[in-house]
Structure 1
């Protein structure tokens, strides 16, 4: 299996790349600058400059792109739209590192985590931008996409336990009433989905056991 990982130099991207390499997959890091990952193959290109020719040989493209300033939040939508456009009608799968704010807290799927009073105000602009990007992606029936949301507490430096719980559209807690996952365990879930392809055109979520 050939996997291309966009923004492989980022915190999530690095661990996803390392997980894929550890499984013996054919991994290419897609980065803007110097490759800082364990991948031996590299495409050096900005996400907005990627064409289908760049991505056509990958069975799976993982989009780990993120941006964190008010000025650049719209790029969550524009970058994902660009990738969806160039993969439109193709067999290549697109897996997206998503956010938790858009997870639903009710079975009717009317209220999202970010709509609740206790949602941290500091995270609202990012959650809103990522939620908008997901809403737009849902309309794309021409792309084999999967959007993977982490738990509410997404821990960059958390331990790799080697285990996780798979959930769906709704905010879920584990037996300890916690919604958390480390980047390392999230990477395991991401590569499991890349290999298995069980949730095409679906949003799923993952959390620690």
Structure 2
């Protein structure tokens, strides 16, 4: 299986590459600058310069784009739109490293994590930008996308336990009542979805078991 990881030098991207390589997938890292991952192949290009030809022949493209600075937040929408446009009408799957703020906290799907009174104010602009990108993605019926939301507490330096619980649109908790997952366990879930998943045009979520 051939996969391309876009923004492979990011914290999530590097771990997805590592997990995929260790499982024997044929991995290409798409990076703007020198590759810091263990991918055997590299495309050195800005995400916005990628073309349909660059991504032809892959089975799955992973979008690991991340932006936190206020001026860069619109990139969540524009970068995802660009990838969708160049994958439109193809059989190439697009798996997106998503956010947790847009997960629903009621069965009516009218309230999200980011709507909670205890949601940190500092993260609201990011959650809003990622929710907007997801909303726009839901309108793309021409792309085989899967959006994977992490747990509320997404830990970059967290341990790799090798276990997780798969959820859907609603925030789920583990047996300890936690919404937590490490980047390493998230990478396991991402590669599982790449190799075995069939959640086409769906948002799924993961939490540490």
Q: Under a length normalisation based on structure 2, what TM-score does the superposition of the two structures give?
A: 0.99
In structure 1, the partner of 2:49 is: 49
Equivalent residues in 2 for 1:63-142 (5 A)? 63-142=63-142
In structure 1, the partner of 2:203 is: 203
Q: Distance in 1 between matches of 2:153 and 2:186?
A: 12
Q: How many residues align?
A: 209
Q: Which blocks of at least 5 consecutive residues in structure 2 are unaligned?
A: none
Residue 166 of structure 1 aligns to a residue whose secondary structure is strand
Moved over 2 A (4+): none
Residue 122 of structure 1 aligns to a residue whose secondary structure is helix
Instruction: Report the Cα offset of residue 197 of structure 1.
Output: 2.9
Q: Distance in 1 between matches of 2:44 and 2:197?
A: 27
Residue 78 of structure 2 aligns to a residue whose secondary structure is helix
Instruction: Report the Cα offset of residue 47 of structure 1.
Output: 0.4
Q: Distance in 2 between matches of 1:4 and 1:82?
A: 15
Query: Once the two structures are superposed, what CA deviation does each residue of 1:9-57 show, in whole Å capped at 9, x if it has no partner?
Result: 1100000000000001000000001010010100000000001100011
In structure 2, the partner of 1:6 is: 6
Q: Under a length normalisation based on structure 1, what TM-score does the superposition of the two structures give?
A: 0.99
Q: Distance in 1 between matches of 2:22 and 2:196?
A: 16
Equivalent residues in 2 for 1:158-173 (5 A)? 158-173=158-173
